[in-house]
Structure 1
């Protein structure tokens, strides 16, 4: 089969649809909003505050994302709440981050320190963590802000944001196996927390993924 014949086997509409998806995601503000929505369901006003955009601008970008299926909405009284769409949105965001890390020197420089620190720390895979949870031999430490923890977290996790860690070490058993996690694989909060805990003699490791990836895999989550 010739190369032309192979290319002709794909309908033009297939590439039109892919281009439309790429066009929808081709704005930094929309990617920022998706990252925030991936942490849990939020109203447009809160998303505007988190992203540093006006409510009108935030609403406009969210409508583009909704039409493309990246987010869904539901009404709660007078508020409209946004959550991720039903497709593999979290996986797509992870793939974009991975490609950007591979391809763009600027992004590599931004995350270089966190990657080097992460690589020096002993990571925990999802499969290993599931085994530890079954055996009851692990304490899960969620270092995200309390608001994000309330929207959803791993089962039985303890929420201690980084700025509270020093004052709440007593909340973590001295003989515990601690696994820390945060917003995603490149979130430095968990790496910083693990380094701080290890410096104090505690057994701490970081989860290889974050809450959005855990949830996207269909694993059990809890909410406050």
Structure 2
């Protein structure tokens, strides 16, 4: 009886592993970690067809990794809690430590973009409280509005060039985006440094920041619903 129960339990846990075994589904989860999205919006940002995105999302739903709600003709998905973000983070750590291919990809694609150590969350919290750092959220506006670091300015990467004049050069600028491998922050830091700014990136992205219980705000710039102060 005990052995049969354990096997059945393992079968259920394996459903989660199976749902995570597709790179498209992992990317969809990363987008959903930013906030709730419709199937159509997820298809657009991921480059998948609506039908294909819907199929992947259904598998994630059956594995308990996402939840849904319907509004009119549209179905909206969201990650099923911060535990999903923590699961993705654990998967990332295991891959980094045990797969040579992961290390090689990171070294050849990201390390060449930024050889400086990223800023740890605790250090950013301390420096933001002292007012000696400017924080940039370089994600699209809809992701920023779903949640962002308190006091962060939303400057999507494609708008960075035209908004440089509004950034102070007398303090360090810290950029963040969707996660530790999100190239938006890497590109933002590179462009800022080319223009003479002191710039670094946060060690990870907004989903990890929120999952660790750090303060967040919601809403557009100037109209934030704060859940705490940095």
Do the two structures share a fold, i.e. TM-score over 0.5? Answer: yes
Give the 5 Å matches for 1:1-224: 11-117=6-112, 120-221=115-216, 222-224=218-220
Counterpart of 1:88 in 2: which secondary structure?
helix
Gaps of 5+ in 1: 1-7
Q: Higher mean Cα deviation, 37-46 or 128-137? A: 128-137
CA RMSD of superposed structures (Å): 2.3
Mapped partners of 2:212, 2:164: distance in 1: 31
Return the alpha-carbon distance in structure 2 between the equivalents of residues 197 and 28 of structure 1: 31
Aligned residues: 216
Q: Which moved more, 1:110-119 or 1:195-204?
A: 110-119
Residue 191 of structure 1 and its aligned partner are, at CA, apart by 2.2
Return the TM-score normalized by structure 2: 0.83
- Deviation of 1:68 after TM superposition, in Å, equals 1.8
8 A Cα contact 2:114 2:186, kept in partner: no
Match of 1:5 in 2: none
Give the 3-state SS of the residue equivalent to 1:11 in structure 2: helix
Q: Larger helix proportion, structure 1 or 2?
A: 1
What's the offset of the Cα at 1:205? 1.6
The runs of 5 or more residues in structure 2 that have no matched partner are 221-230
